[in-house]
């Protein structure tokens, strides 16, 4: 009876595993860096949004000035209209 030995299909050296291990670690490290940058950007956007909201609220609502409770609640204060100096009449005639 004849003994048959099976040969290995693929023979890999230690450098194969070192290469792919290093490649996997660098991909994971890159994902961590990108995720950290994304989180930082999101936090910055939230801070900017909060600042814009605060600015809009201070522009639209005035502080209470009167002693009564009705005056203490913030209320809408319309923006002032344009002054006549903003629209000079010598540039464009207005037909009435």
User: Which stretches of 61-77 are DSSP H helices?
Assistant: 69-72
- Give pLDDT, residue 44: 92
Half-sphere exposure of 70 toward its Cβ, with a 13 Å CA cutoff? 0
How far, in whole angstroms, is CA 79 from its chain's centroid? Answer: 30
Q: Where are the domains of the chain?
A: 13-60
Q: Within the chain, which residues score under 70 in pLDDT?
A: 1, 62-76, 86-96
Instruction: Kindly calculate the radius of gyration of the chain based on its CA atoms and give it in whole angstroms.
Output: 36
**pLDDT, tens digit (0-9, with 9 covering 90-100), for 26-36:** 999 999 999 99
DSSP string, 12-31: --HHHHHHHHHHHHHHHHHH
């Amino acid at each position: 009876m004849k003994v048959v030995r099976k040969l290995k299909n693929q023979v890999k050296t230690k450098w194969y595993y070192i290469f792919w291990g290093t490649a996997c670690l660098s991909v994971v490290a890159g994902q961590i860096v990108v995720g950290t940058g994304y989180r930082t950007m999101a936090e910055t956007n939230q801070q900017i949004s909060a600042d814009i909201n605060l600015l809009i609220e201070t522009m639209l609502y005035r502080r209470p000035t009167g002693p009564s409770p009705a005056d203490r609640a913030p209320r809408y204060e319309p923006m002032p209209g344009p002054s006549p100096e903003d629209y000079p009449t010598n540039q464009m005639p207005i037909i009435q």
